[in-house]
Structure 1
Amino acid sequence: MSATPSSSNDPAAAAAPTSGTDEAQRRERKTGLLLGMTSYLCWGVIPLYFALLEPAGSIEIVAQRVVWSLLLCVILLFVVRGFRRTAVVLRKPKLFGVLAAASAFVAINWLGFIFGVQTHRVVEVSLGYFINPLFTVLLGVVFLKEKLNRLQWLAMAIGALAVLVIAIGYGRAPWLSLLVAGSFGLYGLMKNRVGRTVDAVAGLSIETMILSPIALGYLIWLEASGNGTFTSVSPGHTALLIGLGVVTAVPLLLFSAAARRVPLSWIGMLQYIAPVMQFVFGITVFGEHMPLARWIGFCLVWSALVVLSIDMMTRSRRRPRPVAPA
């Protein structure tokens, strides 16, 4: 009796699952790319949203952002049934401590960003986010004991020269750029410490929960003293302040979904979308002046980022690709 041929011996049949898997991966990456681009586009237009919140001050806006973000996170935790996961994190002192530090850094970053928008220094803020990848590399050296290769050292040297040129042009250090870059870089370092242990919704929930007593206390004092804007300007202004929860949480959740679907190198390329948009808005919408020294400094920063990107892509291509099981 002859044996029936196994489907595993059929090349077409064997190729089908692989082809299907490849197609699924392509769709997944395309979805991730779209989600990532959308998240950075949202972050890119945020300065326009913050500009609409006048006459609210930067501290009031940050406090409102914390309170409404926490409320939205509670709703999201209810929808995705994430209260148990969040409670587990709260019971771990080390994780809670890292997230407490992260909440402080993100509050400083938000405050610097909003202050920059309200004082028409959006270009300086955008410089901070251009510098951030270089600052992140520096943090890796200092805290994670990472070693730099020649291209990375070159990028760092060009970046330092850029800050020096801009400082000479300003007559002072671009402290707002350094504040934004430093706070966001340290926030990223804290989030790196918790790794995959804490998801995006739980992390933002705990961070805003830590900040909310201070934020809520400040808002109550502000309204009691007659200096708050939540109810005294217009219903539209109140709605915009409430909308800060959505403006904060949605890009973060989109980014989190993208990061699970595309390679880190792709995310590295996408991260420049937001500061480029902020830079353009600073010049065109907010009418900020760009003296020669600032142009030279920005060109040096962009050159450093090109060097850093080349290094990232080169190292990504050198990594051995996983061999499919036989």
Structure 2
Amino acid sequence: MTTKPVSAGTPDLAAARRESMMGVGFGLSAFLFWGIAPLYFKLVQHVAPVEILAHRIVWSAGLLALLVWVMGRWREVATVLTSRRLLLPLIGSATILAGNWFVYIVAVNEGHVLQASLGYYINPLVNVLLGMLFLKERLRLPQSIAVGLATTGVLVMVAAAGEAPWVALFLGFSFGFYGLIRKLVRVESMVAVFIEAAVLVPPALIFLVYRGQTGGGSFGAVDLRTDLLLIAAGLVTLLPLVWFGAAARRLSLSTLGILQYIAPTGQFLLAVLLFGEIFTPVHMVTFACIWAGLAIYTIDALRRS
């Protein structure tokens, strides 16, 4: 009787492929959701951005606490909370994430969705730079050309408008650093997102209580629709964030960069076709440079894959 030789690496390879496919699924879900997210923030445009941010934090933390309890993850949470090596980076990522959320809300509410989409278009190229600086990744020639084209596009806008597109730059770089920290910190996605939200809850609650007592709050003071929309901020925040965290743990930064095109494309289409934001010749040149850079970057990444 003969037996077939079994390759020792085959099970590991199959498991790695399953993990990769799960990562792609999580990434697609997250970025498709983020692509249409401006629709939600337009519905709560009458609420102050900082109050929307506080509600995002509080309600998402509540939902996460429920999920952690249902899934029996409190022991993992306790492990992270008692480890400075794990907790301090997550406090940093939470702070970065709160800043990213706030600037994005302001951008949508003030009619700068086009610039927000620009920020998330340059984010994959920001990831390339961060990979080079912090993960010891070397820039290949196509990546260098792509980064150069994106830089050229930003400089065109600076020269034409007389100032840098700060919203776009902040969103692109803040989300890049957030993804980098989550890539380096070996904490399960659900637990990490819960801890990030939890450390932001105390200041958010203090603000909401103060806002309510001074008569400036919208929750319970406008109408039932507004209250329900603010409560829904938890779900709108939680779902794509958990999906992104799961994708970041399973995929390389370059693969995440490719999937990230989905979100700014959705935002770009909403800005131009639905929200009526003006797409000027300067925008055309800037976006063309960045799209060209992204095309080169994507072709290079796919060819190497």
TM-score (norm 2): 0.91
Contact 1:41 1:273 in 2 (8 A): yes
Letter in 1 for 2:268: F
Give the superposition deviation at 1:172. 1.4
Q: 2:94 aligns with which of 96, 99, 103?
A: 103
Q: CA RMSD in A?
A: 2.5
Letter in 1 for 2:95: A
Query: Take 2:164 and 2:213, find their aligned partners in 1: how far apart are those partners?
Result: 38
Q: Does 1:132 align with 2:123?
A: yes
Query: Take 1:290 and 1:122, find their aligned partners in 2: how far apart are those partners?
Result: 11
Deviates more, 1:35-44 or 1:185-194: 35-44
Query: Take 1:302 and 1:157, find their aligned partners in 2: how far apart are those partners?
Result: 12
Letter in 1 for 2:279: M
Contact 1:265 1:313 in 2 (8 A): no
Give the superposition deviation at 1:253. 2.6
Give the superposition deviation at 1:141. 2.7
Equivalences for residues 12-51 of structure 1 within 5 A? 33-51=24-42
Equivalences for residues 1-326 of structure 1 within 5 A? 5-6=1-2, 8=3, 33-194=24-185, 197-258=186-247, 266-316=255-305
Give the superposition deviation at 1:183. 1.0
Query: Take 1:82 and 1:290, find their aligned partners in 2: how far apart are those partners?
Result: 47
Contact 1:169 1:294 in 2 (8 A): no
Query: Take 1:236 and 1:29, find their aligned partners in 2: how far apart are those partners?
Result: 40
TM-score (norm 1): 0.85
Query: Take 2:252 and 2:277, find their aligned partners in 1: how far apart are those partners?
Result: 36
Give the superposition deviation at 1:289. 0.4
Aligned pair in 2 of structure 1 residues 148, 174: CA closer, same or farther (>3 Å)?
Answer: same
Letter in 2 for 1:296: V
Give the superposition deviation at 1:32. 5.4
The percentage of aligned residue pairs carrying the same residue is 40
Contact 1:98 1:193 in 2 (8 A): no
Query: Take 2:78 and 2:187, find their aligned partners in 1: how far apart are those partners?
Result: 11
Aligned pair in 2 of structure 1 residues 263, 133: CA closer, same or farther (>3 Å)?
Answer: closer
Aligned pair in 2 of structure 1 residues 258, 180: CA closer, same or farther (>3 Å)?
Answer: closer
Give the superposition deviation at 1:266. 4.9
Give the superposition deviation at 1:148. 1.4
Contact 2:142 2:296 in 1 (8 A): yes
Aligned pair in 2 of structure 1 residues 98, 292: CA closer, same or farther (>3 Å)?
Answer: same
Contact 1:40 1:251 in 2 (8 A): yes
For each residue in 1:46-92, what CA deviation from the matched residue of structure 2 results, as whole angstroms up to 9, or x when unmatched? 11001101211111111110101110110010111111001101111
Give the superposition deviation at 1:27. 8.0
Letter in 1 for 2:296: V
Letter in 2 for 1:96: L
Contact 1:70 1:205 in 2 (8 A): yes
Letter in 1 for 2:69: F
Query: Take 2:76 and 2:136, find their aligned partners in 1: how far apart are those partners?
Result: 31
Aligned pair in 2 of structure 1 residues 205, 260: CA closer, same or farther (>3 Å)?
Answer: closer
Q: How many corresponding residue pairs?
A: 302
Aligned pair in 2 of structure 1 residues 263, 144: CA closer, same or farther (>3 Å)?
Answer: closer
Give the superposition deviation at 1:250. 1.1
Contact 1:165 1:296 in 2 (8 A): yes
Give the superposition deviation at 1:185. 1.1
Query: Take 2:52 and 2:101, find their aligned partners in 1: how far apart are those partners?
Result: 9
Contact 1:58 1:115 in 2 (8 A): yes
Contact 1:265 1:312 in 2 (8 A): yes
Contact 1:161 1:300 in 2 (8 A): yes
Contact 2:127 2:257 in 1 (8 A): no
Contact 2:157 2:165 in 1 (8 A): yes
Contact 2:120 2:168 in 1 (8 A): yes
Give the superposition deviation at 1:33. 4.3
Give the superposition deviation at 1:170. 2.3
Partner-residue secondary structure (3-state), 1:183: helix
